[in-house]
A and B are shown apart, each in its own frame.
Chain A
């Protein structure tokens, strides 16, 4: 049973359903979150390194030195992402039930 992912990691994994390079991930996360999530280069790089070590993502292309190295989700990463989405659904379900469910005006992002 995995713990909660950070928001940054969640958006990085979500972005890598499609192979992207670092800057592409930053742009995608910012766009998906309506400008709210801005991944910084240093934080992103650390997260990408850790996720590679865990086998959640992989670097594409053999050339280590090529600029704009692209990353993609692995099968493990996809499972991690799906488990996380399930967890988030549980949070929203309970939040709606307890608070009354009138916080959905942000669903139009």
Chain B
């Protein structure tokens, strides 16, 4: 038996997403496939742990494929991908499952996400301001509206970036003392 659920997780909510997938697994629903804001679960008492990662290159690139093969060889299963986000799972009966075991790899992962979000936020800010000013000065309400929407989107992205940076700063501070 399978079920499809639509749920929104933003790029800075990867940990929340993992926790949600694990809690679904607790309830007997194991994720078997992913799409844009779409999750397909299969009813099964064989429970899995789920972890995601944001890749450096697109999923189809040789380096990404090599990495995925490596992770699978360590005993995990590849569930699927959405853009550069890859999903892995491992049977709980086979032990604890993590993709990162030290602070520097976690910090690198967060930096990677920020580096993708920043230009998006910047672009939206630029386009937003342009459209807004154009719309206001020439009385074109469509432009003004689009401008506002772009600015709202960029505001939202900057908020997410701030959350990631806060998490990263905490890790960096801890990294002065500990490695793991």
Contacts and interface: CB of A to CB of B under 8 A. Distances in A.
B70 interface: yes
Given A38-B96, A38-B98, A43 B73 contact: no
A99 B109 CA distance: 38
Interface string A68-87: 11000000000000000000
A46 B112 CA distance: 14
Interface stretch (A20-28, A88-96, A100-108): A20-28
Nearest to B96: A38
Contacts, number: 54
B105 A42 contact: yes
B106 to A, nearest CB: 9
Interface in B62-89: 66-67, 69-71, 73-76
A23 B98 contact: no
A23 B90 CA distance: 14
A64 B67 CA distance: 12
Given A6-B179, A8-B179, A40 B101 contact: yes
Contact of A41 (B70, B104, B109): B70
Contact of A21 (B73, B99, B100): B73
Interface string A1-24: 000001110000000000001110
B74 A41 contact: yes
Interface in B90-111: 96, 98-102, 104-105, 108-109
A35 to B, nearest CB: 10
Interface residues of A, number: 21
A43 B99 contact: yes
A69 B104 CA distance: 25
B67 A43 contact: no
Nearest to B178: A7
Contact of A67 (B73, B98, B99): B73
Contacts of B99: 40-43
Contacts of A40: 98-101, 105
A43 B103 CA distance: 9
B161 to A, nearest CB: 22
A57 interface: no
B17 interface: no
A43 B99 CA distance: 7
19 contacts: A7-B180, A8-B102, A22-B70, A22-B73, A23-B75, A38-B101, A40-B105, A41-B70, A41-B71, A41-B74, A41-B76, A41-B99, A42-B105, A43-B99, A43-B102, A43-B105, A45-B70, A64-B66, A67-B73
Given A42-B105, A44-B74, 8 more contacts: A8-B101, A22-B74, A41-B70, A41-B76, A41-B99, A43-B100, A44-B101, A46-B105
